[in-house]
A and B are shown apart, each in its own frame.
Chain A
Amino acid sequence: MYSYIGKRLLVAIPTLLIISVFVFSLQKLLPGDPVLAMAGEDRDPQTIEYLREKYHLNDPVPVQYLRWAGSALQGDLGMSLRTKQPVLKLIGDKLPVTIQLAVMSIAFAFLIGIPMGILAAVKKNTALDYVANIVALSGLSIPNFWLGIMLILLISVKLGWLPASGYRPFFDDPLRSIQTMLMPAFVLGNALAATLMRHTRSAMLSVLSADYIRTARAKGLSERAVVLEHSFRNAVLPIVTLSALLFGELLAGAVLTEQIFTIPGFGKLIVDAVFTRDYAVVQGVVLCTAVGFILMNLVADVFYVLLNPRMRAAL
């Protein structure tokens, strides 16, 4: 197993390398000369030359990349122009907020998506299946920022049941924290639930038609045992992989959800950085997101092997 993890990590290296080139190239897309922007009103040639030397902008681009990548490898993603803090520290501060949102969203997605998928597969081509499919399609088609706005309008403004904003850290006030996160987590979990429902349904349908399920039924096992113990256990493998892939969707969705509910997380960090032209933060967030996504893929692959006895035996 360790050699398998080692091999997967090795495969991730070129991917990370290419991502780092892409992220570094982003700053080259900026229109105009960054030094002129830094120099501001003072366009003194000496100042400009000093700034070029200071930021190594006279070096060839590959050398600039190597310097940047070397620093990034040591955890130095640069300084935030706005807050004058290291980018990695900013990301580290915001990450727990987004992780709380992500955990609650995934909980919603699993609680809604998987039972709906199982039911839709078991009751295939019935009204329940059609309703579940329509709900899933709507979940995939509804823009989450609009859903968030509509929920604020209904639940916060009209009914006054939940606060529309005002994040509180979990360890400061757990109840208030959960209250403020319920709506954003539902909004973010909604699209994931729809995706999970579709995949669970599809995985369950292929398992339910397998010979061993027919045998289990022929042995007189209860339908509950057939569905939950024999079918779902085998259908869960692709769902595990999918859940890791959904991590990227979750982070992307968090950008808008955090913006609407004014949650000071990872997503809001990138949006604020975009508006304040804090490009080092934008680059840092993109890089960290991609690294996180690759790690989640690795975790999914490891789980896949652990859950699948045939693959475990093949290692």
Chain B
Amino acid sequence: MTVIDQVDVPAVEPRSPSRAWRKLKANRGALVGLGIILFFTLLAVLAPLLPIADPNATNWLAIRTAPSATYWLGTDDIGRDILSRMIWGAQASLLAGVVSVAIAVAIGVPFGLVSGYFGGWTDQIISRVTEALLAMPFLITAIALAAFLGPSLMNAMIAIGISAMPVFIRLTRGQVLAVKTEDYVEGARSIGLRHSSIILRYILPNVFAPILVQATLTIATAIIAEASLSFLGLGQQPPAPSWGSMLNVAKNYLSQAPWMAMWPGAAIFLVVIGFNLLGDGLRDALDPREA
């Protein structure tokens, strides 16, 4: 899912949490998405406890072995167990998705709150910078940043987070503009509450729902972005496993060992579709206009 798709989250007040939860539970797509995410999260968390081979252990007698009873998903170009690397690779992908979105939210939301709430010159400056950042394609910005920061998983996460940040500034600003004219905000202002209290106690909780939806959908984009950066050699560095770097190696052995390319890509696809399904479900569940 592209960043462009995701910015159109409706500027409406969320429905109550219990109703939203009931609606989410009734959405089969969202539940499937949640199931996929939970499955991969469990794999990633339990990786050290699972009875699987060391993901970096090489076996020169089992180079590019096809899937078998010993190696369920086969081995790679230097005889490493693909299943083990897939499970450990889930850590890098999920971590990159969550951390980069956390960075984007942690920077983008405060700027959006300030921009929308105070308006005036502050808003003008933040909005112009946001527009400029949005004019640079997400992945190209991430590649450029990762290239200048240096190749590593942490830098890839920072690059993705900064590239995804403008979407959160724009979304939050739009939501604040819709909420700040509500009676309860006017009331809070009239009793003399400080701006910071109004923003944190009255505005932030009421703009939280669309940010949550956007964050869920952006995790999907961030996972693809991390895989893309790792595929290009700008993310997770070898020998540490990551789905993107596994694909980078696999493309050199397509005719000899096609299984090397199949599994990591399928895993990325599944996790991303999981987050997209959950994001779509959350959007429907939290939007009061949906019947």
**A interface with B by C-beta (< 8 Å):** 14-19, 22, 26-27, 29-31, 137-138, 140-143, 145-146, 149-150, 152-153, 157, 191, 195, 198, 242, 245-246, 248-249, 251-253, 255-256, 259-260, 270-271, 274-275, 279, 282-283, 285-286, 289-290, 293-294, 297
Contact = CB atoms under 8 A, between A and B. Distances in A.
B110 to A, nearest CB: 19
B232 A293 contact: no
Nearest to A30: B148
Residue of A152, A251, A274 most packed against chain B (CB within 10 A): A274
A259 B141 CA distance: 17
Contacts of B4: 195, 242, 245-246, 248-249
Contact of A137 (B143, B144, B273): B273
Given A195-B2, A286-B136, A145 B247 contact: yes
A26 B224 contact: no
B224 A143 contact: yes
Task: Classify the secondary structure of B's interface with A.
Answer: helix
17 contacts: A18-B129, A18-B131, A26-B144, A137-B276, A137-B280, A143-B227, A143-B268, A143-B269, A248-B135, A249-B2, A252-B140, A260-B251, A270-B140, A274-B147, A279-B147, A282-B148, A290-B135
B139 A252 contact: yes
Nearest to B149: A29
A253 B136 CA distance: 13
Nearest to B231: A145
Contacts of B233: 275
Given A19-B132, A259-B232, A293 B255 contact: no
Contacts of B140: 248, 251-252, 255, 270, 285-286, 289
Contacts of B228: 143, 145, 255-256
Contacts of A248: 4, 135-138, 140
A78 to B, nearest CB: 15
The DSSP consensus for interface residues of chain A is helix
Interface of B: 1-2, 4-5, 128-129, 131-133, 135-141, 143-145, 147-150, 220, 224, 227-228, 231-234, 247, 250-251, 254-255, 258, 261-262, 264-265, 268-269, 272-273, 276-277, 280
B2 A191 contact: yes
- Most-contacted residue by chain B among A138, A146, A149 (CB, 10 A): A146
A248 B167 CA distance: 15
B144 A146 contact: no
B40 to A, nearest CB: 14
A137 B277 contact: yes
A286 B262 CA distance: 32
Contacts of B255: 157
Given A15-B135, A29-B149, A271-B232, A149 B129 contact: no
Given A140-B276, A191-B2, A289 B136 contact: yes
